[in-house]
Every structure is written in structure tokens, then in C-alpha cells.
Chain A
Amino acid sequence: MAATGNKNINAKLVLLGDPGAGKSSLVLRFVKGQFVEFQESTIGAAFFSQTLAVNDATVKFEIWDTAGQERYHSLAPMYYRGAAAAIIVYDITNQASFDRAKKWVQELQAQGNPNMVMALAGNKADLLDDRKVAAEEAQVYAQENGLFFMETSAKTATNVNDIFYEIAKRLPRVQPAQNPSGMVLTDRPAERAASATCCS
């Protein structure tokens, strides 16, 4: 796959963040071009795929839109393990969601794939009047932690395609021989299931 010319890249991408930050809205805007004002909570994780053409390659994203709810946190490793990219989403009108986003970054730095492309998305950028998290603050944080940062709005579509495009550009071009079907969800055996309870 890693031949020169027009490469096909399969990339597993995971979205993480607080409930209501707008993970599903970002994905639905990117994949289906849709937006609904009252997006229902995601249950477990929803799977999408979308193909993007960048200059030198075709990137097929396999997107895991995870549920932000606390009861699903123990499942997150199942989704970010082996992921080539992650978008950590927070809501610019909610300081707590930004704090939570930082925790996700820490967890990914500790547990995730070291070559993972990480993006920080400050969503709901259309709600300027209610802004609680300054763009500069997030920008500084992102720089310090080796992420790239964008403010997005799933509602107005601002920067939504751009953030995925940027990720596609940053993905390592010479990929390690990745399982083409993206089969690797977890490398630990099924014991994980037994401990994957609500509060463990």
C-alpha cells in the first residue's frame, strides 16, 4: 500500500470528549453534511467511514464516534488503541469540557499510539457570545502538547472539513503494515470484557 504515487491510506480515527461537546455533530457534518440542533446522546460508539482525497493520497477514515457519557469511559481504550488519529472535542462555551479534553490528551499520550495525530477541536464556535474558553488559551495548550488546534462549528460547518483534511495531510505517508481491514480494536484478550463494567 505504501507505494509511491496515489496512495490509499486506511486510517482509524477516534473522537473523544465530554457529552454534548459535539463529537457526533462534527462527524455527521463531515460524513453526511447534516446538522440537527438537538443531537441525541450517542450510545456506546457509532462507526462511520468517509474517504478524503488529499494531494498525494486517498485517505479512508474509519471513524469511531465514542459516547462521552461516564459509563462508557472504560471502553475508550478499545477505540483509541491502534488509532492513527484522534480528535479531542470540547465545547467553547463550557470550561469543564475543556478541562476534560486535557485529561483525554493526557490519557492518549500515556496509553495511545505514539505516532497518533491528535487534533483539538473547540466546537460550537458559532456561539461567540457564550464563549468561556479563550481560543488563545487552547492554542497555547495545543502547541505545548504537540496537537494542532482549530475552532469548529458543526452548525455552520466552519472548519469541519478542514480539521479532517488537516489530519489526512499529517498522517504518516509510509504507514507501518497496518491491517487493511483495520481489525485491531484491542490487543488484549477478552479479559477486558469482564472488567468493562460501569464503574471499574
Chain B
Amino acid sequence: MSSSDSSSSSSASASDDPNPKLKPQPLESQFQSSVTLDGSDEASVSASVAEQRQQQGEDSGNGSIGGVVNVENNGHRDGSHREEIIALGVTADEDGGVVWRRANSEVEAPASPSSSGYAGERGSSGASSSSGAGEGSEEDEIEEVGNDDGDADGALDSQAEWTPGKRHVDEDDASMSWRKRKKHFFILSNSGKPIYSRYGDEHKLAGFSATLQAIISFVENGGDRVKYVKAGMHQVVFLVKGPIYLVCISCIEEPYESLVGHLELLYGQMILILTKSLNRCFEKNPKFDMTPLLGGTDVVFSALIHSFSWNPAAFLHAYTCLPLPYATRQAVAAVLQDVADSGVLFAILMCKHRVVSLVGAQKASLHPDDMLLLGNFVMSSESFRTSESFSPICLPRYNPMAFLHAYVHYFDADTYLILLTTRPDAFYHLKDCRIRLETVLLKSNVLSEVQRSMVDGGMRVEDLSVDLPQHTGSTSRADDKALERTRESALVGLGGPAGLWHFLYRSVYLDQYVSSEFSSPISTHRQQKRLYRAYQKLYVSMHNKGVGPHKTQFRRDENYVLLCWVTPDFELYAAFDPLADKALAIKTCNKVCQWVKDVENEIFLLGASPFSW
């Protein structure tokens, strides 16, 4: 499998970088001060670990069901976040019945008040047996898919052009094709009624939804919460939001944290459409069928799920700007500010998923996740393109209970304006604002500049100046060799200096990120998706609270060298050729940071109100 060499340095003091915003401390010093393991020794160690892991995977894959359920203990008193790992042995009988066995009952901490909950739950045989019966069919399926390696829709994955809208409506949980889908998303109510399914007709999936509900309530009855279930290749991740249950079943290797993040965004998208007052419907009638309320929004959800495989905003929790000359962006901001001053809460000019400029009323700030959801909602709904529209929307991070009213107008195929107001009768005012705005934008040629920037694209790793310092004493032979290769590769257009293929840079204070254009080594859709997942995994590993605050990470596998550098001001994620030289890669990262600083006027929206709460 993969031999990975990874080293990470964790240092608690942030004072390493006294003024990193202006002058980032060179990354190599961080590596020097940290314990780095490099070379073949390390590689062999990790290889054996990887082997072990693989073996484990196989064990659980072909055993009937060797699952690990991670349960969060709600009853714990000291407030600290505590997780218990409870191994559940689930054995399927021939007749499909399933027996749940708790193998590890001693993890019930004696002090925990909920320990009695476990025991009590076992007593309520009615609930557990009924959920167990439903369980059988569900787990059987996962096993089948596991045996198939879940690789069936590889063809679908490789297609570069993504068609919006729901696909495979004709499928249900009995269809083989449905079972082989790599990543399922479900939204259901706590009474087990299906609300949304990524694949297949929700109504035909009623039985399956009931099964998911049974699993969740089975654990809930014990005063606990099920976080995820691992079954062979599959990970089943649960998220409970009041009366709404969200479930992701994935056989793609993605961290639990990422999948929960996806479910959180999916929930946010639903709140954006309906507000949290949908909970009241369930208070009035627990058996409430929510599907009619979401009528016509399949495209919105499927576009969001699609963005989980390409849009870094989905895991970075930051937005990105269209590169524009500073003066141009300032000019747009000035016009938008006029609009905002006339009683508009937020005025946003976007080009696809990129922000051209945005302005908020005093003290109002927009969360990057809300921007992602809002942009997705507008872009995925074809109806906004036909004329000017006025629609209620809710910003879940701004106020999940109330609707705002959004005026949406497309200036051209990609560029659109969103004006958000609290006043339902403001349409004609917003329309006037738009007309004025359009006049200014046309006069100042902003719209054509936006179009040009779209065509020109953003930062290219090839443009990173190759004048790497040759006169560093510490590195010698390898350095020169790599430099040679660098020059060659630059000539044939294989990425940037030192084998740099791609980078992501996130400014912590601005809540914005910039991503380089994809260079030729990662030109295909499949390669880009794989890199996206690698970044996502890297992000999780750098933000995992349990492991401690890592500051740098260098990771080599057969696909890439990944380098990550996290400071209080920014986060850099860079991908290199798998054969890239480490010292050179580190130097290149410093170059990238400097480059970003040099052009930050053009790639970021500066002077926007900070987005923190």
C-alpha cells in the first residue's frame, strides 16, 4: 500500500512568530526545531503500520460484521468532552436476525450517571429487538457492497462534467446499483420519515429510513448518542439536530470529522431554505412529512454534496475571492456600501462561487459557511437566472430562526448580485439599487474585468519565481538534483518549482482562502478529487483537538508530498511531486507565503469587517 513518511512538530508557543503577518518566520526553522523523522527508517515503520491497518480493514471487511461504534456519553458530568469506544459485536444469523453484543461493557465509567442507562436499555427488550430486526437488512447491504469494493461507479466519478439535479431516481435500497454508490446522504425525521436521499426516491426508501432511525433511537434510549458505525469499508456517520436526523454512508476513506462537517452543511442548507422553525412542525405532529416543504430543492442539495468533492470552502470554512486589481474591488465595495447604507443588510457581488466584493450593514457579519450555502443555493437554482428574483432565505449562522429576503439578479452568465434585507416589502427599493449599481459597474468596466479575471484564472504554481537560493550550505547534492529536475519540469510544464503542484492558503483573520490553479500533473477531474481528499484529511489532522496543536506536517506517499503549515495568521497546504526534495519543498512554501503576501491586495477582500463573532 502506501509508505508514508510523516513528521509533525507541535509547539505550544505562538510566540515563535512575533509578526508573521508581515514576515513569516521561515518554515525550515520550524522543522529544525522539531523532531523530524525522514528517510527510509521512518518509511518502513509507517509502512508496517499501514500494513497493520490494512489487515485490520480486511478483518472487519470480511467478518460478518465487526463494527466499532463510537458513542459520545452525554451523561458525563465534568463537562469535558469524553468519548467512549464501545466495540459492538454484531452477528447476523442465517434468517437475517441480528444480535447486538456489547463486548466492552467495562468502559462504562462507574462515576458516570448514564451507566445505569446502558443497563436499563438492555432491559427494554421491545425497543432493542425491533431495532435489531430492522438492522439486519441494513447491515447485510453494507456487507454486500463491501465485498464489491464499492468501485462500481468509477465511471461516474471520472466524468468531468457534473450534471445538476438528482440522478438515479428510479433506484431504491433493493437495487444493486443503489447499494454500490460510494457516498450516500440521507435526511430523515426522528419518526423515521425520509426527507432527502442523494440517490433514489425518498418514498421508496421509507423502510431504509426507518432502519436508520431505529439505530439512532436505540442508542438514544440509553442516554447516548451514536456518532458513527464502521462496517468493513463503510463508515456510517450520524448527526442529530433536534427532530432531524442526518446520515452519511460512505466507503470512501474520509475522516469522520469531514463527514460530520458535510452533514452539518447539509443541515445548514435545509435551514437556509426553511429556517429552524421547521422544528415546530414536528412539535405539532411528530409524523409530519417534510418532503413537500422541500419540493424542487433536490438540485440545491445535490449541488452542495457535489461541492464536498471540489470546493475547499466546505472544509476550510473560508470563502475565496475573484482576483481583481485592488482599485477595482475598492470601487465595487464603494457602490455596495452605498446600497448597504440604504437599509440593506448584506450586499454581495459574486462570480460563480467567488466573491467579487461584499459589504455588510454595521455590525452585521456573514459567516463563511453561510456564504457557501447561499452561493450554492443561488447557483444551483436555475430559476434565478431567468429574471430578477425575490426569495425568502435564512442564514443559519446569522439567525437560524428568521427569514431574510434575498434579491437576486444575474448580470451575466456567471456574475450575480445578492442583496439581503429584513424587509419583505423592499423589492422595488432593491431593484432600484441594482439598476444604479449596474450602471456604475458597466460604466467602470467592472463586469468585463470580472469576466477577464475568470478567463485568466488565479495564481499558477508555474509563475512562482524559480530563483530558489542555491547558496544554502546545509543542503547540497539532493538540493541541486532537485533544482535541476525543477527546471526541467518547469520547461515541460509539470507544475512549479521544486515539484510544487498546487497549494491552498487560508488567511485566518480574513476567513478567506486562495487556491492555486491546478497544474498539469493534476489536470484530470479524478486527480483533483483525490488531492481534495488529501487536503481534507490533512486539514482534519491539523485541527484534531485530541492530538494537540500541530504547526507543521510533512507527509510523503505514493501520490504526493503534502506539506502543511499552520500559524495563528494563516494555514498553508501544499502538494508536491512525490519525489520532491524536502528541504526544497519547505523553501518553496516560504516562497508561496511571500508571494501571497505580495499579491494579497488582489486576491483577498481586505478591509472587510472581520467575520468572527
Contacts and interface: CB of A to CB of B under 8 A. Distances in A.
Contacts of A197: 274-275, 277-278, 280, 403
A24 B383 contact: yes
A43 B384 contact: yes
Interface string B372-395: 000001000111101111111000
B548 interface: no
A143 interface: no
A172 interface: no
Nearest to B393: A44
Given A40-B296, A69-B296, A70-B295, A24 B424 contact: no
Interface in A112-144: none
B424 A47 contact: no
A48 B409 CA distance: 12
A38 to B, nearest CB: 9
A45 B390 contact: yes
A177 interface: no
A170 interface: no
Q: Is the interface of B mostly helix, strand, loop or mixed?
A: mixed
A196 B389 contact: no
Contacts of B427: 47, 185
A78 B386 contact: no
Contacts of B465: none
A194 B402 contact: yes
Interface in B294-336: 294-297, 299
A143 B502 CA distance: 69
Interface string B395-414: 00000001101100000000
B293 A71 contact: yes
Interface string A1-37: 0000000000000000001000010001001000000
Interface string A161-196: 000000000000000000001110110001011101
B423 interface: yes
A199 interface: yes
B483 interface: no
Contact of A44 (B275, B292, B294, B406): B406
Interface string A57-68: 000000001010
A96 B115 CA distance: 54
B267 to A, nearest CB: 15
B389 A46 contact: yes
A80 B384 CA distance: 21
B422 interface: yes
A47 B405 CA distance: 14
Nearest to B424: A193
Contacts of A71: 273-274, 293-295
A44 B389 contact: yes
Given A24-B383, A40-B296, A45-B390, A199 B280 contact: yes
A193 B423 contact: yes
Nearest to B378: A43
A51 to B, nearest CB: 15
A75 interface: yes
A185 B423 CA distance: 11
Interface residues of B, number: 37
A110 interface: no
Given A40-B299, A198-B277, A199-B277, A70 B292 contact: yes
A194 B392 CA distance: 11
B281 interface: yes
Contacts of B273: 71
B78 interface: no
A42 B385 CA distance: 10
B293 A196 contact: no
A41 interface: yes
Contact of A192 (B388, B389, B424): B424
A193 B402 contact: yes
Given A24-B383, A198-B275, A198-B281, A182 B428 contact: yes
A47 B409 CA distance: 10
A198 B293 contact: yes
Contacts of A45: 389-391
A45 B389 CA distance: 6
A194 B403 CA distance: 8
Contact of A40 (B277, B382, B391, B428): B382
A190 B275 contact: no
Interface of A: 19, 24, 28, 31, 40-48, 65, 67, 69-72, 75, 78, 181-183, 185-186, 190, 192-194, 196-200
8 closest Cβ pairs, A-B complex: A44-B391, A41-B296, A40-B382, A197-B277, A198-B274, A185-B425, A69-B295, A199-B281
22 contacts: A19-B295, A42-B389, A43-B381, A46-B383, A46-B386, A46-B388, A46-B389, A47-B387, A70-B292, A75-B424, A183-B428, A185-B424, A193-B402, A193-B423, A196-B424, A197-B275, A197-B278, A197-B403, A198-B275, A198-B293, A199-B293, A200-B277
Given A70-B295, A185-B425, 15 more contacts: A19-B296, A31-B387, A40-B381, A42-B383, A43-B296, A43-B391, A44-B392, A44-B406, A45-B389, A47-B387, A48-B387, A69-B293, A71-B295, A186-B424, A190-B423
